[in-house]
Each structure stands twice: as C-alpha cells, then as structure tokens.
A and B are shown apart, each in its own frame.
Chain A
Amino acid sequence: MELLDIKNLQIEFPSRRGTVVAVKGVNLTVRPGEVLGVVGESGAGKSTIGNAVIGLLDPPGHMSGGEVFLKGEKINDLPAEEKRKIRGRRIGMIFQDPLTSLDPLQTIEQQLVETIELHLKLGAKKSRERAVDLLTQVGIPDPEIRIGNYPHQFSGGMRQRVVIALALCAEPEVIIADEPTTALDVSIQAQILELMRKLCREKQVGMLIITHDMGVIAEITDRVAVMYQGNLVEEGTTQKILGDPDHPYTKSLISAVPRPDVRLKRFPMVDYIEKEEDRKMLLDISTHWLGQGREFDKIEGPLISIKDLVMTFITKPAFLKKNQQKFNAVDGVSFDIKQGEVFGVVGESGSGKSTVARMISGLYKPAAGSITFGDTDLTKIGSEKEMDVFRRQMQMIFQDPFSSLNGRMRVMDIVAEPIRFHKLASSNREVETIVMDLLDHVGLGRQAAVRFPHEFSGGQRQRISIARALATRPRFLICDEPTSALDVSIQAQILNLLKDLQEELGLTMLFISHDLPVIRQMCDRVGVMKMGKLVEVAETEALFTNPQAPYTQELLSLMPRLDKLSHEGLDVEKS
C-alpha cells in the first residue's frame, strides 16, 4: 500500500480576473523511506500541492477536486479538527525560510516541548528528554545548552535543523519539504540534504520535496515528478528523468541547467516555455548606433585593475568612533580584468563579491585601495563631472529584476534615462528611435517602450535592464548575479543574450555569481572569494579541473553532482 497517495488533485484560486487553476489533475504517490521530488519553474503550481495535502491552502485557494489518502485513509474531506490532528503527528512540514519559521519570542525548548506534549503526551520531563534527543539527531552541537536559546541565536543552517527537528517531533509518517534549502548557502544545503536523506532512510519516512533546483533533485530524490503550468508532464525514477527524459518540456528544462562538468558554447534553445523572440543578429555594428561612439581612449594592458581594495561596514553605530563596531566586508582584494574578457567572481553569501562590484561601479566608496580604469585611479576622482566620463563607459546589471526597474516609469523613459543624462543623442526623436532599436535588439520588440515594468515577466524585465545598461554604449559591463532570481530556462536565455552581446560589442565583463556551473559557462577567468579575501584566481577551465586553494576544492566538491544529466543536443566547447 502507498504511504501517501494523491489522486487527481485539482487546486483553484478564484480572483477577479477569473479562476486560476494552479494544479490540474495531478497524481502522486510516496512510499515509506522514499524521497519523491516535485520539480518545476515558478508558476508550475508545485508549492500549492504541499499546502493542499496538509489542509493549509491560503484562501481563496481551495481544492476543487481529487482525493488524498494517507495509508489508505482518505484525509482530504476530514473535519478541520481531525485534519489538525494529522498535521505534525502524521505529516510533518518544512518550509523554505528558516529565519521566519520559528516564533522569535519563544525558546527552542518551548516550541519543541509544546509540540511533543501536544502529540505524544509524554509529560514534561520525558518531552524535554525527547527534545534534546531530537536536537542531537539533527546535529545541533551541545543540545543540552542550546535548547534554552532563542531562534535569533542560531545561524540560518542551524535554524533549518531546528525546523527539521520540529517536523520530526511526533515521528510523522510523511514529511513534506517546500524548497527546504533555497534560502541556504551551497555548503549548508549539502549538509541539510544529507541529514534529510539519512533521517528518511533510518525512520522509513516518506518524503515529498518540492523544489525548482535540479541540483537538489539529483542529490536526494529517488523519483521525480516534473510539473509545468499545473500539469504533471512526466514522472519516473530520478535516473530516467535526468538522463533520458521523454517530454519536450523536461528535455528543454534539463538542457537549460548550467553544467558543472562541461562548458557549452551556447545553451540550446529552450523554446518550450517562453518563446525567445527572433533576435536580429544581423546587426551591422559599424553603422548601428550601438557600434558608434565606441572610440574610447586606447588602453594598454588591463582595462580594470584593483589593488588592495578594502571596504568597511559599521555594524554597530555609535556616536564616538572608538565605540563603533566595524567589519571588513572586503579585505585587501587585488585583481586585473583584461580588455575583452569575462572575469568571474564566485563565493558564498557574505564573501564580499557583490561589494567588490559595487565599489568598482562607484556605489560604495572603498575604505582603502585603488580602482584603476585604463590608467585613471577612480578613487582619486573628486568631481561628479569627471566621474561621468567613466560612468558612461561602465554599466551594471542587477540581480533582482523586480526591483531594478522603477515601477512608476515607462520602459521608454527607463531606457532613455542614461541616453538623456549623458546627452548621447541630439533630439528627443533620436532618443526614442535608439530606445526602440535597443529594445528590439534585446528581444523585446518596439511595442515594449510604451508599457510599464509590471507588465513584463522576470526574464523580460532583465532584458529591459540589459537594454538600459547598453544605452550608454559602455565598454565594461558589471553583472551582479544577473540570473539568480530567474527560472532556469529563462536564465539560459539571458545568459545566451549576454554571451552574444559580449561577443558582438567586444564588451569586457565582470560577472558575479554564487553559482559555479553558471560561472563555468560564462567566464574566461575566475576569482574565488571567501570572507572578504580572494583565495584563488585562475583560468576557468583550469580552476574547475585542477583547483589549487583548499577552499576552492571544498566548494567544487559541494557542487550538486549533475553527471547523470542528459547530454542530448548540447554544443560542448572543447578547450
């Protein structure tokens, strides 16, 4: 008998623009000791499945059809009180963000004991013993002492362990984990996944993991269900789905996953989802506006050269300087970026990689060190006017497509702003023509100009950002995690676009990312950062095949193993 059996599940969200069917007739089963992955991009409806099973769909969402069985017992139409008794007792739940999942005003002990008492009624002493035991199982050091702490005294990874302990309180038969590692760094992710897998095996718990991340799927699941726009398009063993998918959506999804093991020339067209508009690749750079005005001062040697860069943040402000607490986010970093190359900087959150990008772009003022552009030290420039010359040559693309565009401005004005500011066109009419051309060139089409940002999807917004960055006709482009907020297929499109533009315009690029496979696809050389320091700089292929620094080796070993992935239709670059 199946442990958890979801039959023909249908979930609807009524809204004033009509009813959205989030999940359309999905069938899933989970067996004891098995990990089932549900994978899909945003909008696939995967997250609502978990909430529907435990009866906690956010209104107005509701189950409009189908049945849910737990060990053969139908649980979806139980009265609310009976459903509540199943939650936590028989089905445990783990949410995405460990920072917000725990009550900040109660100790870990209070929250654990409360849950154990409720379900197992062991009495105060036994409950506490069990709580300590659970903390030991999930790998919290010194559980006897730590149990008295409040959530804010734990790190993100440790908090997720506490959340797992809470989910395990009453020995549930099934655990549903909704993006359990998305908010965590890659090294923590590996530990948490290993822990979950171990607990699942030992206790013969059935686990349903909902994720967008193929790495998580490859690491932990036995079977995978692929969802696309509310439909279950394919289901099978993890080996089969990753290595030899049948459905065209699964194929395009898998081909869009950045490979950690090989470098591709371009991502194959992932046109199943958002049909990439035909880009006019036949742009004649010698006559087009984008190609003109590129007669920058000739530079010998590297375009950018940073030396002993330091950035200090005040973590605890105080009136007197001596009472302030400071922290060096970037601590003596030096590297060169050659003309025409893509230089990558990789590191975990808090490593200072974005801070480096922000200092080069002038958003932060370094505490010490120099940033040389050609042969001008940017840190020594005093006036805004002088700086403008370099701002024109240097533009930036940001991480979050939803906050990087001013929602109150039309796309036309957003893209035209740099052109108008740097007076790169003589008349308003010319500005408009240029903007339309640019939008066309990044694959959005001219009509986009009259619309507002909120009318576009995340990928389209990132294209608008790229158009804006190109609008000053820069020679140097800083990309700060340009695709980490995007779905994997959209990421492939944007990375393709960036590759094409770089080649076409001969751009020099600084590419910041936490994602090693993406770095491998995009960069010529890479710098690895850890806690504000640069630990290694190397040619990309050399770094991936023969890492020198111990930290790099560790990072590479923590990368999800995606070697099972299908190689069908890939255009591998030979080095």
Chain B
Amino acid sequence: MVSFLFKRLLQSVIVMFTVGLIAFSMFRFVGDPINNMVGQDTSEQERIELRERLGLDDPFLVQFGRFALNAVQGDFGMSYKYRVPVSGMIFERMPATLELSFVAAILSLALGIPLGVYTALKRNSFLSKLIMTTSLVGVSLPTFLTGILLILFFGVVLRWLPTFGRGDVVEFSAWSTGFLTVSGLKSLILPSITLALFQMTLIMRLVRAEMLEVLRTDFVKFAKARGLPNRLVNFKHALKNTLVPVITITGLQLGSLIAFAIITESVFQWPGMGLLFIQAIADVDIPIMAAYLVLIAFFFVLINMIVDILYYAVDPRLRADNE
C-alpha cells in the first residue's frame, strides 16, 4: 500500500513538474514579459532595471526554479492587465467555480449512474431506448447552446430563474458561498444543469457499456446457474465489477468539469475562475493563463489520487499485486 501510494505520488509530482514547465515557458517565451508589464512611455533604462530585478537574464533553470518556488507558495506574479497579484484574483473567484462544479458533479453522478444501470439491465425496453436516443441529443448539444436554450426558456420566456451572476453570497473569511441565500441557490440552478448535462450523458453511456460488458462474462452466467436471483446477480456481482473501470473514467470526467465550467461561466456570466481565464486569453494575460493551468493540473492530480485509492479499495487483485 505504501509503495503503491508513493509511486502514485511520484507520478503526480512529475505531472505537476511538466505542467509547471509548460506554464513557465508560456510565461517566459510568449511575448516579452517586460513589454507586457510596463507602459509605452517607460524608458529603456527602467526596462533594463526591471529586467534585472525580475532576473530575466538568469539561466533558464534558475528562472524556472524561482518560478516553481513561487508557484508552490501560490505566487504567480502580477496580472499584465490589472496590475494586481494573480493569486488573489484567482482565489477570490475559486469558490464560485468550485461550488458550481460540485453541484454539477453530484447531479451528473446521481442521475448518470442509475440511468446507466437501468438502460443496461432493461436494454430492450422502450424507456431505455428513449433514454439512449435522448442521451445522444444530449451529447450533440454543445454546452453553450444548452445554456442559451435554458436562458431563453426559463429566463426570457418564463422569467422564472435568474440568467446571470451568482445572486447574493455569504462571506466566510476567504470563502464566499451562494448556498445560503435563496437568490444564490436560484442562480445556481441553470448553470449547474448546463454543466452537468453533458457529463451526465457521458457517465450514463459509460456505465451502460461497462455494465453490458460485465453482464456477458462467465461469472455472471455461473452466478445465474447457481440459482442466484437477478437482484443479487445484477447488483452484488455485476454492478460492483462495473464500478472498477467506471471509477477511473468518472474521475477524469469530474476533473474536466472544472475546466468545462469555463463555457458555462461564460454563458451565464458566472464570476468564477473560468470567466477570468477566458478574459485573460482575449487579453493575452499570460500570468493568469499560467496560474489557471497549474491550478487545474493540481485539481486533476488530486482527483486522480483519490480515484487510485478508491480503485485500490475496490479491486483485491490490485492489492495482491502490490503486496
């Protein structure tokens, strides 16, 4: 167990290192950092001084080391456009994105897994076929279009729900939550559905495919031949075996929610990290882009670690291989 975790940890460090390298290269080589930091009227002398102060003439590795050291402490420098520390801008917006992603993740898992199991078990029923066809429409609807349609229907036509922003939030020191006010919860409905819909269809189709695969195996047939009732065969033997591959891919999918939030936030003007990122791209505000990249990578690595531990708990074969 310890060596397994250690191996995973090492891999995560390598991933973070690589991502850090990419982020640093972006920062260092896309455009001239000095030009981006100072105004047109800055004299040549001031530029050279700034250059020296920032250590931009040091060897590559020294610069990267400094970047990494700062990054680990959450320091990504100043935004080119707003001239304030990037980390502050990002952490200020993080709660909005995380709350949105969290609700969407719960929604897509709570609906996706049961629907996937149902359509696999009753795969020839009319309802299953209807769900499967509808899910294809779901996969074909780009997230932004889902958002627009929801806004049009619930916001413009029916005028039931707010169509932009987070509503009222309650501050707990650094964290601002929309969970505790009515307008905050109402504002959350449309964006979280928009974000969850695509993931839900993916998870559902994945669960269905894996479940069908497991239902074809010999041990399911042997369980039936021993006279076990369908309920036991399906939920004790088949479902548990389905979960092994599903956990991995679902982990990846949930990680991508945070990134997909970019689109949703853009449609609903949700004041999260994604919206900040998309504005940064339009402005070529490299420090924000770099910081966002590193942060997303960090969330991914974190989720992957959790997935690995879960995996380890579910599958005895893995435990044996590492004993």
Measured CB to CB, the residues of A under 8 A from B are 54, 56, 84-89, 92-93, 95, 97, 100-107, 114-115, 118-119, 150, 152-153, 163, 166-167, 169-170
B316 near A101 (CB under 8 angstroms)?
Answer: no
Q: A105-B241, A105-B316, A150-B316 are in contact. Are A166 and B221 (CB under 8 A)?
A: no
Complex A-B: 19 CB contacts under 8 Å:
A54-B225, A84-B224, A85-B227, A86-B227, A87-B224, A88-B226, A93-B222, A95-B218, A103-B219, A103-B223, A104-B315, A105-B241, A105-B315, A106-B237, A118-B228, A150-B316, A150-B317, A152-B317, A153-B320
The 6 closest A-B pairs by CB, nearest first: A88-B227, A93-B225, A87-B227, A88-B226, A100-B218, A150-B316
A163 near B227 (CB under 8 angstroms)?
Answer: no
B111 CB-CB contact with A under 8 Å:
no
B residues less than 8 Å from A93 (CB atoms): 222, 225-226
In angstroms, Cα B321 to Cα A153, docked, is: 10
CB A138 to nearest CB in B, in angstroms, measures 15
**Cβ-closest chain B residue relative to A85:** B227
A residues less than 8 Å from B314 (CB atoms): 105
A88 near B228 (CB under 8 angstroms)?
Answer: yes
Using A93-B222, A100-B219 as known contacts, list a sample of 13 further A-B pairs with CB atoms less than 8 Å apart, ordered by residue number in A. A85-B227, A86-B227, A87-B227, A88-B227, A92-B225, A101-B222, A105-B244, A115-B227, A115-B228, A118-B226, A150-B320, A163-B222, A166-B222
Q: Mark B229-240, 1 if CB is under 8 A from A, else 0.
A: 100100011001
**Cβ-closest chain B residue relative to A152:** B317
A residues less than 8 Å from B219 (CB atoms): 100-104
In angstroms, Cα B225 to Cα A118, docked, is: 13
A103 near B237 (CB under 8 angstroms)?
Answer: yes
B217 CB-CB contact with A under 8 Å:
yes
**Cβ-closest chain B residue relative to A59:** B124
Partner of B218 from the list A101, A119, A153 (CB cut-off 8 Å) is A101
Q: A100-B217, A152-B317 are in contact. Are A114 and B222 (CB under 8 A)?
A: no
In angstroms, Cα B226 to Cα A106, docked, is: 15
B225 near A88 (CB under 8 angstroms)?
Answer: yes
A152 near B218 (CB under 8 angstroms)?
Answer: no
Interface size of B by CB at 8 A reads 23
**Cβ-closest chain B residue relative to A98:** B218
B320 near A105 (CB under 8 angstroms)?
Answer: no
**Cβ-closest chain B residue relative to A99:** B218
Partner of B227 from the list A84, A97, A100, A107 (CB cut-off 8 Å) is A84
B residues less than 8 Å from A54 (CB atoms): 225
In angstroms, Cα B317 to Cα A102, docked, is: 13
**Cβ-closest chain B residue relative to A50:** B225
B residues less than 8 Å from A115 (CB atoms): 226-228
In angstroms, Cα B323 to Cα A153, docked, is: 12
B240 near A56 (CB under 8 angstroms)?
Answer: no
In angstroms, Cα B236 to Cα A105, docked, is: 10
In angstroms, Cα B317 to Cα A501, docked, is: 49
In angstroms, Cα B223 to Cα A93, docked, is: 10
A residues less than 8 Å from B236 (CB atoms): 106, 114
A residues less than 8 Å from B221 (CB atoms): 56, 95
In angstroms, Cα B218 to Cα A54, docked, is: 15
B residues less than 8 Å from A86 (CB atoms): 227
B residues less than 8 Å from A92 (CB atoms): 225-226
In angstroms, Cα B240 to Cα A152, docked, is: 17
In angstroms, Cα B227 to Cα A107, docked, is: 18
In angstroms, Cα B219 to Cα A85, docked, is: 18
B residues less than 8 Å from A104 (CB atoms): 219, 241, 315-317
B227 near A89 (CB under 8 angstroms)?
Answer: yes
B226 near A169 (CB under 8 angstroms)?
Answer: yes
Q: Mark B98-116, 1 if CB is under 8 A from A, else 0.
A: 0000000000000000000
CB A84 to nearest CB in B, in angstroms, measures 5
CB A53 to nearest CB in B, in angstroms, measures 11
B residues less than 8 Å from A153 (CB atoms): 320
**Cβ-closest chain B residue relative to A176:** B225
**Cβ-closest chain A residue relative to B227:** A88
B residues less than 8 Å from A56 (CB atoms): 221, 224-225
**Cβ-closest chain A residue relative to B214:** A103
